[in-house]
């Protein structure tokens, strides 16, 4: 398994952990308020910091397991995979944001729109990493 | 399983005939990772035309001696 494939696995796991933490917090706050909780800057900052810290730790661990491949640059196959996976993530992001915007037209709930759009970003990133893993495993033609 | 490209190759055979050259060494010669050489050998990736030429030059043969069209 190449360094870039390992990186996709760990980033997928890191994003899952961070997304679970974010939406668990939003769900708890929404339950306490009795409506969709407003977006909170500290929560968003916390989400970003959590991803940065976990991804640094995870990548150090991945690099330590095979130092000789840790500085591998993207080769032609990696670039094709990154491009295709990025396109897939872009579609997911577009669908998610359009879903949020469509919902806003019916209930004018800006808080919900924010969380859906933010969630769409998370899903798009997760989808991108999943697509990378798929192409690395199954081949890119 | 993803569709396999209809391109065959003799990379592994030529590598072994070339002093049992390692996949990592071949990858370094042509500017790709060891995993990409593995993917090429297993038919999971068709290299770019540039890499195909680089591979054939490493082995001192023509591109058509390394790559072929399935069924030909």
Q: Residue A82 burial (CB < 10 Å; 0-12/13-18/19+)?
A: middle
According to DSSP, residue B61 is labeled S
Minimal-distance CA residue of chain B relative to A78? B36
Residues 6 or more apart whose Cβ sits within 8 Å of residue A58: A10, A11, A13, A14
**What is the mean predicted confidence (pLDDT) over B8-23?**
93
pLDDT in tens, A11-55: 999 999 999 999 999 999 999 999 999 999 999 999 999 999 999
**What is the mean predicted confidence (pLDDT) over B28-37?**
93
Say how far apart CA A16 and CA B63 lie, in whole Å.
Answer: 45
Residue from the list A69, A77, A141 with its beta carbon closest to the beta carbon of B4? A141
pLDDT at residue B50 above 90? Answer: yes
* β-sheet bridge partners, residue B68: B8
Residue A119, CA distances (Å) to A49, A67, A107, B13, B55 in order: 17, 34, 18, 49, 45
According to DSSP, residue A140 is labeled B
Say how far apart CA B67 and CA A4 lie, in whole Å.
Answer: 27
Structure confidence at residue B3 (pLDDT): 63
pLDDT at residue B70 above 90? Answer: no
Domain that holds residue A62: 3-138
pLDDT at residue B2 above 70? Answer: no
Q: How many CB atoms lie within 10 A of CB B53?
A: 15
Residues 6 or more apart whose Cβ sits within 8 Å of residue A134: none
Residues 6 or more apart whose Cβ sits within 8 Å of residue A22: A43, A47, A118, A122
Say how far apart CA A80 and CA A121 lie, in whole Å.
Answer: 22
pLDDT winner (highest mean) among A97-101, B6-10, B30-34: A97-101
How many domains in chain A?
1
Minimal-distance CA residue of chain A relative to B36? A77
Q: Is there a contact between B48 and A76 (Cβ–Cβ < 8 Å)? A: yes
pLDDT in tens, A72-121: 788 999 999 999 999 999 999 999 999 999 999 999 999 999 999 999 99
Say how far apart CA A79 and CA A109 lie, in whole Å.
Answer: 40
Residues of A with CB under 8 A from a CB of B: 1-2, 5, 69, 72, 75-78, 136, 138-141
Is B51 in contact with A76 (Cβ distance < 8 A)?
Answer: yes
Residue from the list B1, B2, B33 with its beta carbon closest to the beta carbon of A75? B33
Minimal-distance CA residue of chain B relative to A134? B2
Is A141 in contact with B5 (Cβ distance < 8 A)?
Answer: yes
pLDDT at residue B1 above 70? Answer: no
Is A5 in contact with B39 (Cβ distance < 8 A)?
Answer: no
Sign of CA dihedral A107, A113, A114, A115: positive
Is B33 in contact with A72 (Cβ distance < 8 A)?
Answer: yes
Structure confidence at residue A71 (pLDDT): 75
Alpha helices in chain B (DSSP H): 11-17, 23-30, 34-41, 49-59, 63-66
Question: Model confidence at A3, in pLDDT bands (50, 70, 90)?
Answer: confident
User: What is the fold, at CATH topology level, of the domain defined by B10-64?
Assistant: 434 Repressor (Amino-terminal Domain) (1.10.260)
């Amino acid at each position: 398994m190449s360094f870039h494939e390992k990186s996709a696995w760990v980033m997928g796991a890191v994003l899952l952990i961070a997304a679970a933490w974010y939406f668990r917090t939003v769900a708890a706050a929404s339950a306490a308020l009795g409506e969709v909780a407003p977006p909170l800057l500290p929560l968003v900052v916390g989400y970003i910091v959590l991803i940065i810290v976990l991804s640094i730790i995870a990548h150090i661990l991945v690099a330590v397991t095979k130092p000789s491949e840790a500085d591998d640059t993207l080769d032609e196959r990696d670039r094709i995979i990154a491009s295709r996976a990025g396109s897939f993530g872009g579609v997911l992001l577009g669908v998610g944001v359009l879903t949020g915007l469509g919902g806003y037209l019916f209930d004018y709930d800006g808080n919900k729109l924010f969380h859906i759009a933010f969630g769409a970003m998370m899903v798009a990133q997760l989808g991108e990493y999943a697509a990378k893993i798929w192409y690395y495993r199954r081949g890119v033609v | 399983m993803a569709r396999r490209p209809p391109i065959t190759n003799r990379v592994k055979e030529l590598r072994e005939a070339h002093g049992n050259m390692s996949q990592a060494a071949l990858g370094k010669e042509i500017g790709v990772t060891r995993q990409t050489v593995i993917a090429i050998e297993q038919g999971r990736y068709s290299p770019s035309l540039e890499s195909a030429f680089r591979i054939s030059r490493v082995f001192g043969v023509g591109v058509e001696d390394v790559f072929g069209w399935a069924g030909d």
